[in-house]
Amino acid sequence: MKPTVAFAALAAGLAVGVARRMKARATGRAPCGDDAGRWLTVTVNRPPELLSKHLPEPLARLRNSIELRIQTAPGGRGAEVAARPRNGLSAAGGPQEARQAVRTALREAKALAETGEVLLPDEPAAARPVRPETVTAHAAGEGRR
């Protein structure tokens, strides 16, 4: 790669980073990142020993490909369950998708342990499909169009 191209790429990357940070400040979005190494966590309103003994199926399914820890939550809130992908957890889309798979498993495990089911969304009433970019645009700011 020529130095000028590399420099341009670096500058563009920096500019995107700065723009994102400025946007986050402008929109007041909470600064909660999702670094690749962090544990993903949920608090489950069930005794930790029960979860350890009968790990809900969504987590049990991933058991060999995640690191998992369960500990007592303070204040009688049940169990704090933390998980993150081991290096071996492969997902078609890469590390972010692997983390999303763990996040979904944690949420579903919590729902099953607490309520006995994972709530399904309503079937859309919309006659017209939603364009993916619509949601992206909304996620970036206000919904007004």
Partner 1 sequence: MKALCWEGAGRLAVRDVPEPRIRNDQDMIVKVTATTACGSDLHLIDGHVPAMRRGEVLGHEFVGEVVETGPAVRRHKVGDRVVVCSVIGCGRCWYCADDQWSLCDNGNPDPDLGRAIWGYEPGAAYGHSRAMGGFRGAHAEYVRVPFADYGAFPVPDEVDDISALFVSDSAPTGWMGAHLGGVKPGDVVAVWGCGAVGQMAACAAALLGADRVIAIDRHPERLAMAAEHAGAETIDYTATDVCAELRERTGGRGPDVCIEAAGMQAQASGLERFYDGIERRLRRRSDRSSAVREAVYACRKGGSVFVLGFFTGTTDKFPLGALMNKGLTLRAARTHGQRYIPMLLQRIARGELDTRHLATHRMPLKRAPRGYELFKHRKDGCVRVVFHPAA
Instruction: Kindly list the residues in this chain that would bind partner 1 in the complex (CB under 8 A).
Output: 26-32, 42-43, 45, 77-78, 100, 103, 107, 110-111, 114-117, 119-128, 130, 134-135, 138-139, 141-145
39: which residues sit within 8 A by CB, 6+ positions away? 67, 69, 82, 83, 84
Q: Kindly state the smallest distance separating residue 44's Cβ from partner 1, in Å.
A: 8
Nearer to partner 1, 94 or 124 (CB): 124
| Exposed / middle / buried, residue 48 (Cβ in 10 Å: 0-12, 13-18, 19+) | middle
65 or 112: CB nearest partner 1: 112
What is the nearest approach in angstroms of partner 1 to the Cβ of residue 35?
A: 15
Q: In terms of CB distance, is 5 or 126 closer to partner 1?
A: 126
Tell me the C-alpha to C-alpha distance, in Å, between residue 129 and each of 41, 126, 137.
Answer: 33, 7, 16
